[in-house]
C-alpha cells in the first residue's frame, strides 16, 4: 500500500485553477522530491494533504484512509514542517515540544521524555531554555523537524525545510532527513535546491501551474530534455565555419556553439554515440581538452517548467 496517494487533485482559488488534476503516490520508505517554480501549487497540495484546505475535486489517501473525507483520522499519520511557522512567545523550545507531544495525547511524563529525546536528536538540548524566535534559522528548522517527529508518524511532509539556510545548516538538515529515511519514514520533500533533490530523493516530481510535468529518478529525468549530453571542446584556435558545419552534421548533434576557442556541442543520448563523437572530434579537431557531461537536473527543470503550455 502507498503511504500517500494523491488522485485527481484540483483546487480553485477565486475562480483561478491552482491545482490541475494532480496525481502521484509516495511509496513506503521513499523520499519523494516535490519541485516546481514559485506559485506552482506545492504548498497548496501539502495544505490539502494535511486537511487545512479542501480540494475542489480529487482525493488524498494516507495509508489507505481518505484524508479529505476523514481528516481527523489521518492527523496522527503524518508530521509536517511548514514553509511559514511561528513559535509561542511564552514557551521555550522544550515547552514547545512538550505542548505538541501533549496534543498527540502523550502523558505528562511521556511528553517530557519525548521533548528531551527530540531536543537531543535535533542537537539542541543545550538551548532548551530559549524561545524558538531567539534561535538561528537552522536551529528553528531543526525544532520544526522535531515537532514533525513528535508522535513518530510514518509520513513526513517537509515544505522547503532548507530555504534560506547557510551551507552548513543545510547539510545538517540533510543528515537529519537521511536519518529519518534510515528509520523507514516516507518523506515528501519540497525544495528549490536541485542539488538537494539529487542528493536526497529517490524520485522527483516537477509541477508547473498545478500540473505534473516530469517524474522520475534523478537520473531518469534527462529523458525530458532534447539535449541530454554536452561535449565541451577546447582548441588552440577558433573553430572555422567549415568545421562548425561538419560538427553540426554529425549524427545526434542538436547544436553547437563556439565562444572564443571553446566549442560546446549538444547532442541526444543514444548509447555508443558519445564515444564515436568524441573519437571523431579528437581526430579532426585535435583539441587541447575535451569533456563530456550529462544534462543537469537544473537544465531539465528549466526545460520542463519553461515550455509553453
Ligand atoms: N489561500 C489562498 N487564497 C488565494 N490564492 C492562494 C491561496 N493560497 C495559494 N494561493 C495561490 O495559489 C498558487 C499556488 O500557491 P502555492 O503557495 O501553493 O505555491 P508554491 O508552489 O508553494 O510556491 P512557492 O515555491 O513560492 O512556495 C499561487 O498563485 C498563490 O497565489
Ligand atoms: Mg510553497
Residues with CB under 5 A from ligand 2 (ion): 42-43, 83
Residues 83 and 184 in one domain: yes
pLDDT class of 269 with cuts at 50, 70, 90: low
Residues lining ligand 1, CB < 6 A?
Answer: 13, 18, 36, 38-44, 83
Q: How confident is the model at residue 271 (pLDDT cuts 50, 70, 90)?
A: low
Give 67 Cα–ligand 2 centroid separation in angstroms. 20
**Which set of grid coordinates corresponds to residue 98?**
512538550
Q: Which residues contact 134 (CB under 8 A, 6 or more apart)?
A: none
How many whole angstroms separate alpha carbon 131 and alpha carbon 136?
11
Q: How far is the CA of 41 from the centre of ligand 1 (A)?
A: 6
At 192 the pLDDT is: 93
With 90 as the cut, is the pLDDT of residue 244 above it? yes
Element spanning 214, H or E: strand 211-216
Percent of the chain with pLDDT over 70: 98
CA nearest ligand 1 atom 19, residue: 39
Are 28 and 150 members of one domain?
Answer: yes
Domain check: are 212 and 232 in the same one? no
Q: Using 50, 70 and 90 to split pLDDT, how confident is the model at 52?
A: very high
Ligand 2 center from residue 246 Cα (angstroms): 47
Q: Which of 189, 218, 247 is the last residue of a domain?
A: 218
Instruction: State whether 187 and 274 are in the same domain.
Output: no
Q: Is the pLDDT of residue 296 over 90?
A: no
End-to-end Cα separation, the chain, in angstroms: 34
**DSSP classification of residue 132:** G
Beta-bridge mates of residue 266:
230, 255
- Side-chain-facing half-sphere of 64: CA atoms under 13 Å: 2
In this prediction, residue 1 has a pLDDT band, given cuts at 50, 70 and 90, of: confident
Ligand 1, atom 4: closest residue by C-alpha: 13
19 Cα: distance to centroid of ligand 1 (angstroms): 10
Given a contact cutoff of 8 angstroms between Cβ atoms, the answer to whether 200 and 33 are in contact is: yes
More confident residue, 274 or 147: 147
Same domain, 194 and 243: no
Statement: residue 161 has pLDDT above 80: yes
Shared domain for 237 and 204, answered yes or no, is: no
Residue 282 structural domain: 225-306
State the average pLDDT for the chain. Answer: 93
How far apart CA 230 and CA 227 sit, in angstroms, is: 8
Query: The CATH number of the domain where 297 resides is what?
Result: 3.30.70.980
230 and 172 co-located in one domain: no
* Helix spans in the chain (H): 42-49, 71-74, 93-103, 108-121, 137-148, 167-182, 194-200, 241-248, 273-285, 297-306
Give the pLDDT of residue 229.
82
The percentage of residues in the chain with a pLDDT greater than 90, rounded to a whole number, is 81
CA-nearest residue for atom 27, ligand 1, is: 38
pLDDT at 261 over 70: yes
Q: Is the pLDDT of residue 218 over 90?
A: no
Name the band, by pLDDT with cuts 50, 70 and 90, for residue 309.
low
Q: Look at residues 168, 186, 218 and tell me which one is the last residue of a structural domain.
A: 218
Number of domains in the chain: 2
Domain end among 218, 236, 264: 218
Amino acid at each position: 500500500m502507498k503511504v500517500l496517494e494523491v488522485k485527481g487533485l484540483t483546487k480553485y482559488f477565486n475562480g483561478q485553477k491552482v491545482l490541475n488534476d494532480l496525481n502521484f503516490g509516495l511509496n513506503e520508505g521513499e523520499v519523494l522530491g516535490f519541485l516546481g517554480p514559485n506559485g506552482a501549487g506545492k504548498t497548496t497540495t501539502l495544505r490539502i494533504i494535511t486537511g487545512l484546505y479542501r480540494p475542489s475535486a480529487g482525493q488524498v489517501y494516507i495509508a489507505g484512509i481518505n484524508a479529505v473525507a476523514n481528516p481527523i483520522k489521518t492527523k496522527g499519520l503524518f508530521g509536517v514542517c511548514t514553509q511559514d511557522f511561528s513559535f509561542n512567545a511564552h514557551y521555550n523550545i522544550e515547552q514547545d515540544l512538550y505542548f505538541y507531544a501533549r496534543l498527540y495525547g502523550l502523558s505528562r511524563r511521556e511528553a517530557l521524555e519525548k521533548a528531551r529525546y527530540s531536543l537531543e536528536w535535533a542537537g539542541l538540548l543545550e538551548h532548551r531554555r530559549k524561545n524558538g524566535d531567539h534561535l538561528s534559522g537552522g536551529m528553528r528548522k531543526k525544532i520544526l523537524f522535531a515537532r514533525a517527529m513528535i508522535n513518530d508518524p510514518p509520513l513526513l511532509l517537509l515544505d522547503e525545510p532548507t530555504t534560506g539556510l547557510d551551507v552548513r545548516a543545510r547539510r545538517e538538515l540533510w543528515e537529519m532527513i537521511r536519518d529519518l529515511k534510515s528509520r523507514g519514514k516516507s518523506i515528501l520533500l519540497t525544495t528549490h535546491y536541485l542539488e538537494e533533490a539529487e542528493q536526497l530523493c529517490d524520485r522527483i516530481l516537477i509541477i508547473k501551474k498545478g500540473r505534473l510535468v516530469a517524474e522520475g529518478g534523478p537520473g531518469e529525468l534527462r529523458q525530458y530534455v532534447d539535449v541530454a549530453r554536452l561535449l565541451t571542446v577546447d582548441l588552440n584556435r577558433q573553430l572555422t565555419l567549415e568545421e562548425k558545419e561538419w560538427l553540426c552534421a554529425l549524427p545526434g548533434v542538436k547544436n553547437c556553439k563556439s565562444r572564443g576557442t571553446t566549442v560546446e556541442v549538444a547532442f541526444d543520448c543514444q548509447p555508443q554515440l558519445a564515444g564515436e563523437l568524441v573519437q571523431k572530434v579528437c581526430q579532426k579537431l585535435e583539441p587541447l581538452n575535451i569533456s563530456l557531461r550529462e544534462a543537469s537536473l537544473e537544465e531539465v527543470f528549466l526545460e520542463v517548467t519553461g515550455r509553453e503550455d
